[in-house]
């Protein structure tokens, strides 16, 4: 598989087919991208598990943090790698050794290791590199279209009055829903 482009159905298939995500390199600092991704996906109904040796034994948003993947006492569907590309292979090797084996390896923006990807694929795992599951979830669920990001789900056709068009990817959100931008748009539509 080439990793320069992923079809939406491939990404959606991963995000729809998983329930638990181990975030390797999660930070406890709310200003860090790994924290924000962890929080966002947790709020979308995913069972989140943090991996960070410096925070092992603690919790993040009520979810456990472990030192390594092999310390997790339950199955994990996907491993999200928030570490340098040079560390991806070792994380993939550890993921392969975990039983049951995760179904997907996701390497965050800026993280790419084609050899690690080939190793994971040969072990039967799906692989995504240089992408963010938070961004992909938001794009596919049309959550980020209000910000003008090219979500490829925008349409020039106006939504029915009072409706927000949003595509579900199979997870009930704990947060989200109507946004301030959506409320302003509704109010401006009422004035017309």
Q: Above 80 in pLDDT, residue 148?
A: no
In angstroms, the CA 136 to CA 107 distance is: 13
Q: Above 80 in pLDDT, residue 107?
A: yes
Extract the tokens encoding 79. 């491993």
> Cβ distance 46 to 21 under 8 Å?
yes
Domains annotated for the chain, with CATH where assigned, are 1-187 (3.40.50.720)
What was the pLDDT predicted at 184?
Answer: 57
| Residue the block writes with tokens 């030192």 | 67
Q: Is the dihedral of CA 70, 73, 78, 82 positive or negative?
A: negative
What average pLDDT is seen over the chain?
Answer: 83
In angstroms, the CA 174 to CA 97 distance is: 32
CB contact burial 30-68 (16+ within 10 A = b; e otherwise): eeeebbebbbbbbebebbbbbbbeebeeeebeebbbbee
Half-sphere exposure of residue 113, counting CA atoms within 13 Å on the CB side? 23
Q: pLDDT-based confidence at 5, cuts 50/70/90?
A: confident
Q: Above 70 in pLDDT, residue 92?
A: yes
């Amino acid at each position: 598989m080439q990793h320069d482009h992923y079809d939406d159905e491939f990404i959606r298939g991963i995000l729809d087919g998983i329930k638990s995500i181990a975030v390797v390199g999660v930070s406890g600092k709310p200003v860090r991208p790994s924290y924000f991704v962890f929080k966002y996906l947790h709020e979308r109904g995913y069972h989140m598990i943090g991996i960070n040796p410096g925070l092992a034994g603690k919790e993040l948003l009520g979810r456990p943090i472990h030192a390594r993947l092999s310390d997790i006492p339950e199955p994990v569907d996907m491993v999200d790698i928030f570490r340098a590309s040079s560390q991806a292979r070792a994380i993939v090797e550890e993921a392969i050794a975990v039983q049951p084996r995760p179904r997907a390896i996701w390497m965050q923006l800026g993280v790419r290791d084609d050899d690690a990807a080939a190793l994971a694929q040969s072990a039967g795992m799906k692989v995504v590199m240089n992408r963010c599951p938070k961004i992909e979830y938001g794009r596919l669920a049309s959550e980020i279209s209000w910000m003008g990001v090219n979500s490829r789900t925008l349409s020039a056709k106006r939504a029915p009055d009072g409706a927000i068009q949003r595509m579900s990817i199979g997870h009930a959100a704990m947060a989200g829903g109507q946004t301030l931008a959506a409320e302003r748009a509704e109010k401006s539509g009422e004035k017309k």
